[in-house]
Structure 1
Amino acid sequence: MNMDNTLNESGPSRPKRLCSMNRNYEQQIEQMLFNSDSDENYDFTDSGSEYEFENTEQVSDDFESDTEIANNVPSVNTQSSTNTNNDGDWQEEEIELSNFPFIKRNEMLVPIEGKINPIDYFFMLFDEHFIKLLVDETNNHAETEFLRVGSAPRSRISDWKPTDKDEMLTFIALIIHTGTIKLNRLNDYWKTHHLFNFSCFSNYMSRDRFLNLLRCFHFALNIETNNQNLPEDRLYKIRPLITYFNNKMNTIYYPKKELSLDESMVLWRGRLQFRQYIQNKHHKYGIKLYMLTEPHGLVLKFAVYVGVLDDLGGKGHVANVVLHLMSEKLNNGHALYMDNFYNSFDLASKLIEKKTFCTGTLRLNRKNTPQDVVESKLKKGETAARYSQGVMIGKWKDKRDVGYISTEFKNNLILSKNRNGKEQFKPEPISNYNRFMSEIDRQDQMHSYYPFTRKTIRWYKKIGIHIIQMLLMNSFYLYNQYHTGPKISLYDFRLSILSELLPKNPKPRSFSVSHTNHFPKTHDVGKSGRPNRKRCHLCYSKGIRKDTTYFCPSCPEKPSLCHQPCFKNVHK
């Protein structure tokens, strides 16, 4: 055929060839998706359980039937009997799943005799070590801020006085109370205008003192202020609080058999390397926390996602997160419930090796998912399932296809009710997943009732205040679980704590300073344009010659002293 004639020929032949090419291309893409592994090919920068191929956050609500369920139990679809994947043979016949006994006991690990009031459970989590950490690091950072800003007469930091345990508890109480009384600006809490005039704030702390404490509120030593290399840990500014929370919950309480794993967002819109964007969230920007919880909301352990360079990031990210959060609970027979962001055949197999059950929804494009289940054509109410190596993977047809996985439950249909009281037959893994995951979102919901959302707060302070709120929530859950009286609401629990930390008749604030405050100051600038350097008094007494630009203007002799550690050692 002549080439010119071919190029000029008319008719439907070219569109047909294009359609054929498009179909081939679509088939190739579909095959790549089915063969992909979520841990290796999923972009975790915008990850989250909300970004799903099947919307399975609340299966019981999203997949209800439109009509009443018939009395007959829906049939289980039976197509081909076996299917081979990369990890072994999938078979339709039911096999015996693992039967790990739960060898621990749900209990408090510390004595609770005599702890009858909310404040007792509050101080169980906010112990002296925690308050001392906040006091010491806040005072250290205030000293750094004083040196950075100087003694400018109009600067608030020039009036800084070291804080102590009692004042820190008052400061924490006022932060908690800003969630009870919601105002747009922090300054509004101290306004004397008749529309405001909240004396409960001004009676306990002046506005400038509160803002000074908030400015200097700190949890770890600033590495950059001591001319040290920045650590690889991106969370070093908040790491002591993360470690404290996880260790504290591990030492005072052991949970029940059923555990849930999900994520939460700390709102943050500013510039940050590990800020997350989740499109389907109401608040799309923030810092993502992975949390191991009990189904009713008690947080047992959490981790902050800081990107692919972290130990938990990169290849195998999901499995790393799950195994890290479960590290103290493995080999004890726990049952872990997760949504389809986490679940996969490979992770379920790893958990079986650690004597831990796994149940939840599943994305059907995960690697090693049986093709018989993926490709099965089901009628409404039908299921298809396959078994391999102690893992059951199934699909249920409701309003749409729902994938699920379990190492504890078989593919049995049971009658269950949704929140509207409507009965429906569901696979047992789905029914139990809804039962133990439905309460986990209450953690974010409860925090949203009493927020501390200030746009000008630095990211690590936001996480620190969020950790304080989680400790408060955990003390509330433990109080309702173990005290002998009737349960109380979170609102009443918070008011009880505030009444103890902010007594009805506060001590009058003293405006006179009973002791001299010692802050370092730099020597005058010399001819070179730099501050003069003089011999460190303390180093010289030890036979060491070391020059410094700092001295103490409050001491009678005004001695020159190295900023770290001589100045602090002299003024202990």
Structure 2
Amino acid sequence: MASTSRNIDNVNNSDDSDFVPESDETSVEDSSDISDAEDEPRVYNPVWSPNTAGLRQIPFTEENRLKVSIPGNNKPIDWFYLLFDIILLENIVRETNRYARLVYFSPTLMPKSRINNWRDVTTQELKTFIGILFHMGTVRLNRINDYWKTGRFFNFPVVREQMSRDRFLLILRCIHFADNSKASNDRLMKVRLLVDYFNAKMDAVYYPCRELSLDEGMILWRGRLFFRQYIKGKRHKYGIKVYSLCEPHGLAVRLTIYSGSDGELSGHGHASKVVLHLMRGKLSNGHALFMDNYYNSFPLASELLSQKTYCTGTLRLDRKHLPEDVKNSKLKKGETIAAYAQGVMVAKWKDRRVVAYISTEFKNTMAISVNRRQVQREKPLPIVQYNANMKGVDRNDQLMSYYPMEHKSLRWYKKVFVHMLQMIMVNAYKLHNFANLDTSMSFYDFRLEVIAALLPEREQPAPVRPPKNPMHVLSKTYKRDAKGNLVRIRCRVCLQEGRKDSKTVYICAQCPGEPALCPIGCYEKYHAPK
């Protein structure tokens, strides 16, 4: 997902190439929005000089810690449920059942549609559904139907015993995370529950380490979508852009999704708005933030510094307020030049190619860097620190890419849901190892234990087909008037609530007296547990 050219060193760490230039990441949909990283609420007049005295010392005033006690029995499933709790499960169950009823009562529904066999999903059934989704990432097949085949090439009893194919596909079709009946101008309304839940949950259970990295990734999506993006340097070039704040080892702390040029964080200074939004609750605590040249600028560095937050990263030389000496200097290989103003350092270094960088934490001193082949090279200290701390989003994406769960036929908001499930799994794994340094485990083993807990062994296989019409369903009345038209009957619930003129052709044949009920609202009220 994240660009493979984030590291100043060559991605293969070869001895003869130490710098791969950053890709120019722009969107075909909104290039003006994302190309301007500078947000200038005030006038900046930096006076640049070679004097380093202006750099500030900012202590880290927080502690990298769990904010909650170790969950349950300290098993992988306990850590997964810490981040994917019963509140989120019940919200998804409620919205899925609500949406399924809307589909069931659709006038365009075909008589042989699977939805005619719908019964309300339960929290336990949703856990089973999620377990099967995770296992589909462990054992990758091109077609969903293949997981239920019994031939010698495909035979997965663990899937067949847990849930029938039709039931899985029904839940996959109806799974929902928002009430469609509520009008909203929020383009992310369908996934707002997931994004807000993830951010709130991570804030509640964990405080990250001092060093943080911020980068964007892509959720693959090639269909029609207003806020679909194209970024040339990504593994998935077309898709939904996700901005993530991560620790260097890959734990995601906070995220937000780009929703178009008129979204909440869009417009002038878009990149700066994203940075300040993702750092909400972390500013003024002495964090060191690492970003690439898509975000960095002198105004943003000054703003972060005023809120006791360092920033370090690569820089585009066409940004405003940069020192002319640094911008225009001609360097030989190995040479570097730097200037300082208001606690900000801007520098340029010539290796195989020229790279510009900015830092409010480090001076432009040289440091020894060791690559994978144990070859030592001298590089500017800000670049060494950037390379060491800027891989958080890449590492998070790398872990998720090992067990891909997406399928081409999914709608965009379901792909976001699958992406969020994967992020929760990775974060649960990282938190487990953070709390169990002496007994840490591999991501593969952690993931399998979670799947095993979500898909426990059954004594008897689940029925292949669900019972027909297992829940009370509305049907049209059989009564007709003299002209052969269906007779409209007063709704039982509307009548009880004083709306005497409300009539409907739907009745519940399973209830005593076959009461007439409006399909939306009244059906749910009448059948609600009393």
For the residue of structure 2 that corresponds to 1:244, the secondary structure is: helix
- 1:387-411: CA deviations, max 9, x gaps? 1111100001101111000011111
User: What is the alpha-carbon distance in structure 1 between the residues aligned to residue 349 and residue 525 of structure 2?
Assistant: 68
Give the match for residue 162 of structure 2.
204
User: By how many angstroms is 1:60 displaced?
Assistant: 2.3
- 1:173-195: CA deviations, max 9, x gaps? 00000000110000000012221
User: What is the alpha-carbon distance in structure 2 between the residues aligned to residue 469 and residue 100 of structure 1?
Assistant: 35
Structure 2, unmatched stretches of 5+, are 19-42
User: What is the alpha-carbon distance in structure 2 between the residues aligned to residue 451 and residue 529 of structure 1?
Assistant: 56
Distance 1:534 1:315, change over 3 A: farther
Name the amino acid aligned to 1:556: P
**1:92-111 superposed matches below 5 A:** 92-111=50-69
**1:396-411 superposed matches below 5 A:** 396-411=349-364
For the residue of structure 2 that corresponds to 1:265, the secondary structure is: strand
Give the match for residue 403 of structure 2.
450
User: What is the alpha-carbon distance in structure 2 between the residues aligned to residue 526 and residue 264 of structure 1?
Assistant: 62
Residues 361 and 404, structure 1, Cα contact 8 Å, conserved in 2 = yes
Q: Does 1:264 align with 2:217?
A: yes
Q: Does 1:565 align with 2:521?
A: yes
User: What is the alpha-carbon distance in structure 2 between the residues aligned to residue 186 and residue 528 of structure 1?
Assistant: 49
User: What is the alpha-carbon distance in structure 2 between the residues aligned to residue 384 and residue 396 of structure 1?
Assistant: 7
- Of 512, 521, 529, the match for 1:556: 512
User: By how many angstroms is 1:325 displaced?
Assistant: 0.4
Name the amino acid aligned to 1:560: A
Name the amino acid aligned to 1:100: I
Give the match for residue 293 of structure 2.
340
Give the match for residue 24 of structure 2.
none
Q: Does 1:542 align with 2:497?
A: yes
**Bigger shift: 88-97 or 515-524?**
515-524
Runs of 4+ with deviation above 6 angstroms: 62-65, 524-531
For the residue of structure 1 that corresponds to 2:121, the secondary structure is: coil
Give the match for residue 10 of structure 2.
61
**Bigger shift: 150-159 or 448-457?**
150-159
User: What is the alpha-carbon distance in structure 2 between the residues aligned to residue 316 and residue 353 of structure 1?
Assistant: 18
- 1:317-355: CA deviations, max 9, x gaps? 001100110011111111110011110001101111211
Rg larger in structure: 1
Distance 1:56 1:340, change over 3 A: farther
- 1:506-532: CA deviations, max 9, x gaps? 554256759951233455798999976
Give the match for residue 245 of structure 2.
292
Structure 1, unmatched stretches of 5+, are 1-47, 69-84
**Bigger shift: 86-95 or 542-551?**
542-551
Give the alignment's TM-score, normalised by structure 1: 0.83
Distance 1:531 1:130, change over 3 A: farther
- Of 191, 197, 208, the match for 1:255: 208
User: What is the alpha-carbon distance in structure 2 between the residues aligned to residue 527 and residue 108 of structure 1?
Assistant: 72
Distance 1:429 1:484, change over 3 A: closer
Name the amino acid aligned to 1:205: M
For the residue of structure 1 that corresponds to 2:47, the secondary structure is: strand
Residues 533 and 547, structure 1, Cα contact 8 Å, conserved in 2 = no
User: What is the alpha-carbon distance in structure 2 between the residues aligned to residue 374 and residue 532 of structure 1?
Assistant: 81
Give the match for residue 518 of structure 1.
472
Length, aligned pairs only: 500
Name the amino acid aligned to 1:534: I
Residues 103 and 109, structure 2, Cα contact 8 Å, conserved in 1 = no
For the residue of structure 2 that corresponds to 1:377, the secondary structure is: coil
For the residue of structure 2 that corresponds to 1:60, the secondary structure is: coil
CA RMSD of aligned residues (A): 2.5
Residues 330 and 355, structure 1, Cα contact 8 Å, conserved in 2 = yes
Distance 1:109 1:56, change over 3 A: same
Identical pairs, percent: 47
User: What is the alpha-carbon distance in structure 1 between the residues aligned to residue 175 and residue 484 of structure 2?
Assistant: 34
- 1:255-309: CA deviations, max 9, x gaps? 0111110111111111100111112323211101000111111011100001111
Distance 1:402 1:208, change over 3 A: same
Distance 1:403 1:148, change over 3 A: same
User: What is the alpha-carbon distance in structure 2 between the residues aligned to residue 378 and residue 531 of structure 1?
Assistant: 87
**1:290-439 superposed matches below 5 A:** 290-439=243-392
